[in-house]
A and B are shown apart, each in its own frame.
Chain A
Amino acid sequence: MSMVKSLVLIDSIFLNNRNMDSFKIADRTFNSRLFVGTGKFSSPELMKETLKASGTELITVALKRADLSGENDPFANILDFFESDRYLILPNTAGAMNCDEAVRIARLAEASGLPKWVKLEIHPDPNYLLPDPIETLKAAEILVKEGFTVMPYINADPVLALRLQDVGCATVMPLGSPIGSNNGIETRAQIEIIIEQANVPVVVDAGIGLPSHAAEAMEMGADAVLINTAIAIASNPAEMAKAFASAITAGRTAKMIGSSSFSRTASATSPLTAFLN
């Protein structure tokens, strides 16, 4: 690629970023590759401001935190702080410890008028909140058949990702490291395989603690990242959200241009092929 050509490409990425670099999950188009979780914030007002600053178009909410009775309960009004024309609200099944519980709560969310989308997360272990692969696959199969757009949270297991893709999941969401750990992409080698093999978008979920981790996920070729703790407990969540958004744009741009090749050895001569000359 010539220098001029690549500069034009960079330009168009930045100028037309919103049109050019969109991607789809199921039938919905997203212009932002930053997805945001809504737990752990110090106040719902701050959460609302942060979501706006982040530029996100998809937010996920724990159904156990929300009032699903339709009674406008002021003590469980987290949903009231979401502007549903701005974001897709992705209900999540946090708190479910097995397939049955996850399926029940997803159905309840739909019945209460939330989108028929679900972030399927089943964690029987309350300490590291690691997802149960067996229960997740079972629940995914049921919910897909019922017409849900299913986005499963999984450990970075490439075969599981393919199995979930086969049963009709709309994405796979492998973890970078345990939820809340802010340790970054420790499952890198596995996520690379998932990205290589997937036909559905790959969203790196959990463990992303710094904007540089998010940029790394983008450079690896992930379609999006989902971030909660690193933004919610930052001393200035709105500014931190913007920092993540910038890092995601940077990483994505780099991925689209393609990284410069680098060599670990000198290449002045070609000892192995010199005999051809």
Chain B
Amino acid sequence: MALFSEILPSLPVDAFCQQSIDSSLQSVDRILSNGKANSLSEFATLLSPAARDRLEQIAQISQSLTQQHFGKVIRFFAPIYLSNECVNICKYCGFSRNNPIPRKTIAVDQVVSEVKQLAKKGFKSLLIVSGEHPKFVSPTYLEDCIAECIKIMPGIQIEIGPLSNDDCVPLVNAGCEGFVLYQETYHKETYQKHHTAGPKKDYLARLEAVENAYSSGFRKLGIGALLGLYDWRHEAIALAAHAKHLTKKCWKAQVSLSFPRMRPAAGEFSDDNLTEVTDRDMIQLICAMRLYLPKAAFTLSTREPQSFRDGLIPLGITHMSAGVCTEPGGYSDFDDETWTQTREQPGEQFNIADERPPHEVAAAIQEKGYEAVWKDSEKTLVTQ
């Protein structure tokens, strides 16, 4: 089966966007009467300005489809940042190599102690995140981290960068079940504009990375687009196509999608460069995506503020993080009781918006009539 990097260039994403803008309310209603979007074209129609008048109906269908497959349940995870060393220049990212931030890679011992801190708060699912740096964040260092973390957390995923099969296999064998990598933007010119140096410059290599990782044995694959860099409809359509492709080609993996919106971070990127994605746009995107991909996991990070996160809980989200620190080693300076940072974090990747400690987010989830599930993996399944 072809690579997505071979498929995307011939996919008429711009034409779908235009079709979306021109969609009539009748065509929206026709799709809603089926209760799902059967094609990329129908998905595009649900993203239309016309479909805004049907946002409540779309949200209700999204809720029902999500509950049917995932139950009245939100699964919890916590990210841990290993390093903010990075060889790339990405204009919007705090870790970008020319940003004058204090650089740091935490030693395996400190990783273990922070993961224990997170476990005390309840977490059983960990997302290991790092800047891309082959020397500081080497494959053997990653393998050591996973081998130690799996003793504490039964569910581990990584979000670092494209990795070769030779580098991935030891991570899978150490117990890592998921590979996460966001394309950031699927729009090639925009991608090239924001990623100006380092291996991440290679748009196609990134586009191929997730399906390549699957062949190493990962059982969960995460993709996403960083909303705000380019037209959100364009990103949504390409992301949906990517997810559909992975679902077919990587049939043993659970595909998860993420919809991060730009947040303030160190660097040269200013709000003037942002393409607007309103709260309504976000909800339309997420709920329409559910009608196209009823069984995909949808992840919601702490980039979004409290009220918006709480509102999204019953609309189609399946996984949430909470109590997050995006600076390597940052959890070590958290107050254990209040779970708040006790110092400035100049080395963070971005400012988080929802700063509530995990138990408060769990309470908000319960308030919405959902159970916050901490454990949904078992070490015995992923290690010999």
Q: In the complex, how many angstroms separate the beta carbon of A164 from the nearest chain B beta carbon?
A: 22
How many residues of chain B have a CB within 8 Å of chain A? Answer: 30
Flag whether B381 is at the interface (Cβ < 8 A). Answer: yes
**Contact present for B219 and A105 (CB under 8 Å):** no
Tell whether, in the assembled complex, residue A182 and residue B371 are in contact, meaning their CB atoms are under 8 Å apart.
no
Q: Could you tell me which residues of chain B, from 205 to 235, have a CB within 8 Å of some CB in chain A?
A: 219
Decide if A41 touches B381 in the complex (CB within 8 Å).
no
| Cβ of A51 under 8 Å from chain B | no
A75 neighbours in B (Cβ, 8 Å): 122-124, 374-375
Decide: B71 and A40 in contact? CB cutoff 8 A.
yes
- Whether B70 pairs with A105 at a CB distance below 8 angstroms is no
Interface size on A, residues (CB 8 A): 34
Those of B336-384 within 8 Å (CB) of chain A? 366, 369-371, 373-378, 380-381
Let me know if A126 and B378 touch, CB within 8 A.
no
A265: Cβ under 8 A from any B Cβ: no
The residues of B that contact A42 with a CB separation of less than 8 Å are: 72-73, 369-371
Closest B residue to A235 by CB, please name it: B369
| Contact present for B122 and A105 (CB under 8 Å) | no
Complex alpha-carbon distance, A265 and B101, angstroms = 87
Please report the C-alpha to C-alpha distance between residue A128 and residue B122 in the assembled complex, in whole angstroms. Answer: 30
Complex contact A43–B376 (CB within 8 A): no
Query: In the complex the two chains form, is B68's CB within 8 Å of A182's CB?
Result: yes
Report yes or no: B124 in contact with A76, Cβ–Cβ below 8 A: yes
Smallest beta-carbon distance A252→chain B, Å: 27
Which residue in B72, B247, B252 is a CB contact (below 8 Å) of A124?
A: B252
B5 proximal to A (CB < 8 A): no
Which residues of A lie under 8 Å from residue B373 when comparing CB positions?
A: 65
- Which single member of A43, A97, A127, A181 contacts B219 (CB below 8 Å)? A97
Interface SS of chain B? loop
CB of B211, distance to nearest CB on chain A (Å):
16
Closest chain A CB from B64 CB (angstroms): 9
A-B CB contacts (within 8 Å), total count = 85
- B287 → A minimal CB distance (Å): 18
Chain A residues near B68 (CB-CB < 8 A)? 180-182, 229, 233
A233/B378 in contact, CB under 8 A = no
A150 on interface, CB distance cutoff 8 Å? no
B247 partner residues in chain A, CB cutoff 8 A: 127
Nearest to B378 among chain A residues (CB) is A64
A104: B residues at CB distance < 8 A: 380-381
Instruction: Tell me, yes or no, whether A125 is within 8 Å of chain B by CB.
Output: yes
Knowing A42-B370, A75-B375, A126-B253, say if A108 contacts B71 (CB, 8 Å): no
Q: Is A39 an interface residue (CB 8 A)?
A: yes
Within 8 A of B (CB), among A56-107: 63-68, 73-76, 95-97, 101, 104-105
**Nearest Cβ distance between residue B156 and chain A, in whole angstroms?**
14
B251 interfacial contact with A, CB 8 Å? yes
In the complex, what residues of B have CB within 8 A of residue A96's CB? 381
* B295 CB within 8 Å of chain A: yes
A203 close to chain B: CB less than 8 A: no
A232 interfacial by beta-carbon distance below 8 Å: yes
**With A42-B370, A124-B252, A126-B252 in contact, is A64–B377 under 8 Å at CB?**
yes
Whether the pair A40, B124 counts as a contact (CB closer than 8 A) is no
Alpha-carbon separation in the docked complex, A125 to B68 (Å): 17
* 21 interchain pairs, CB-CB under 8 A: A40-B73, A42-B369, A63-B378, A64-B377, A73-B375, A74-B122, A95-B377, A96-B381, A97-B219, A104-B380, A104-B381, A125-B251, A126-B252, A127-B251, A127-B295, A128-B295, A180-B68, A182-B68, A229-B68, A233-B67, A233-B72
Which residues of A line the B interface, CB within 8 A? 39-44, 63-68, 73-76, 95-97, 101, 104-105, 108, 124-128, 180-182, 229, 232-233
